[in-house]
Structure 1
Amino acid sequence: MAFHEVRFPDNISRGARGGPERRTQIVELASGDEERNASWANSRRRYDIAYGIRRADDLAAVVAFFEARNGRLHGFRYKDWADYKSCAPSQAIDATDQQIGIGTGAAASFPLLKNYTSGAQAWTRAIAKPVAGTVRIALDGVAQMSGWSVDTTTGVVSFDTAPGAGIAISAGFEFDVPVRFDTDTLDVTLDLERLGSITSIPLIEIRR
């Protein structure tokens, strides 16, 4: 399976529905108490893009995109409008948004990360598909205009010179979600008033 570094049309994804999914096993005991166990260490996102189709042209664009990906065969980029930046939706990206590592004096490569925190609990998400031209990097809070590069196909930041031991490395960025179609069939309904519709077009995040 190949991954196509192309983004699903933004005007359609903006109206889509979906978000993170977790998988938890729950066993109810005879006493009524529960035992819960997380089957997945990380969440996985699902979307239904049928909700973003408003015009016949949108429908044609989705069909063309589906055919070019060979259905479920090839992955692609998807912009999750509810979660696509290293900062809050109303804020501007800053190089100090997310800490991605601490320098050791030897390591020169660090993956982009996004931290989700609520109270004392936190979860860290690996970001594999940053958007080209949006990544900002800082060392100990000082923005770095050069001396580093980012691979937008993997989300790995590489420094020309390894950051010194104890130096905090942070980043700001926009990112896409790597997804694939979760169906090999598009069930299109044609009618005179709406010029066509699709009941459901599921996408699922690709985890590696």
Structure 2
Amino acid sequence: MAFHEVRFPTDISRGAQGGPKRKTTVVSLASGFEQRNSQWADSKRAYNAGYGLRSIDDIHAVITFFEERRGRLHGFRWKDFADFKSTSPGKAISATDQRLGTGDGAKKEFQLIKTYGSAFLPWIREIRKPVSGTVVVAVSGTVQNPGTAYTIDETTGVVTFAAAPAKNALITAGYEFDVPVRFDTDELLVTLDMLVAGDIPDIPIVEIRL
């Protein structure tokens, strides 16, 4: 299997249904209390692209994309319109959106991350698929020059500095990102109506961990 650095058609994913999923076991005790346990440290996103289809051309685009991915075999990029930036979707990206870490004078590589929440139990999500040309990085609030001060691996989300940031220097970044996913089916059931309309009611997409 492989990961194809190509994005699912965004005009279809824009209308899809889905979002984050967690796995929690809940045991009800005889006393009426509960015991709850999280089985996953990180959430996984799942979507259904069937809700985004609008035309016969959309159906053809999905079939073409599906066949090239060989069904569930190969991963690809997905734009989640509810969560695709280092900030909220309606705000502009800033180089200080997300804190990546603190310099120690030796470390050069920093993983892109996004932190959800702040007051109670923040969750840190590693961002593996930044969108080309959108990443901006700052060191202690000063925006850095891409290509000279640092490079970004757009297949892993790792920022590599030409020179290690100084000790206690705050490393921050802003960016757009995609979700690494795959099809969660090896079969597409297509319904056509007189070759001018139709649908594929179920096109399950599931996030993969890289």
Same topology, TM > 0.5: yes
Q: Residue 65 of structure 2 aligns with which residue?
A: 65
Q: Residue 204 of structure 1 aligns with which residue?
A: 206
Count of equivalent residues:
208
- Letter of the aligned partner of 1:114 in structure 2? K
- Letter of the aligned partner of 1:30 in structure 2? A
- Letter of the aligned partner of 1:110 in structure 2? F
Q: Deviations over 1:3-35 (max 9, x none)?
A: 000000110010001000000011110111100
Q: Residue 157 of structure 2 aligns with which residue?
A: 155
Q: Residue 130 of structure 2 aligns with which residue?
A: 130
Matched, 1:14 2:14: yes
Cα shift at 1:56: 0.3
Summarize the alignment of residues 45-64 of structure 1 with structure 2, pairs less than 5 Å apart. 45-64=45-64
- Letter of the aligned partner of 1:11 in structure 2? D
Aligned sequence identity (%): 57
In structure 2, list runs of 5 or more residues that go unmatched.
Answer: none
Summarize the alignment of residues 28-177 of structure 1 with structure 2, pairs less than 5 Å apart. 28-117=28-117, 119-145=119-145, 146-177=148-179
**Partner-residue secondary structure (3-state), 2:168:** coil
- Letter of the aligned partner of 2:111 in structure 1? P
Q: Whole-Å Cα distance in 1 between the matches of residues 50 and 96 of structure 2?
A: 36
Cα shift at 1:194: 6.1
Cα shift at 1:192: 3.1
Q: Whole-Å Cα distance in 2 between the matches of residues 137 and 93 of structure 1?
A: 11
Change (3 A) 1:59 1:104: same
**Partner-residue secondary structure (3-state), 2:65:** helix
Q: Is the 8 A contact 2:78 2:180 kept in 1?
A: yes
- Letter of the aligned partner of 1:188 in structure 2? V
In structure 1, list runs of 5 or more residues that go unmatched.
Answer: none
Q: Whole-Å Cα distance in 1 between the matches of residues 131 and 208 of structure 2?
A: 17
- Letter of the aligned partner of 1:75 in structure 2? G
TM-score by length of 1: 0.97
Q: Whole-Å Cα distance in 2 between the matches of residues 136 and 33 of structure 1?
A: 48
Q: Whole-Å Cα distance in 1 between the matches of residues 84 and 196 of structure 2?
A: 31
Cα shift at 1:121: 2.5
Q: Is the 8 A contact 2:56 2:195 kept in 1?
A: no
TM-score by length of 2: 0.97
**Partner-residue secondary structure (3-state), 1:121:** coil
- Letter of the aligned partner of 2:178 in structure 1? D
Q: Whole-Å Cα distance in 2 between the matches of residues 88 and 11 of structure 1?
A: 20
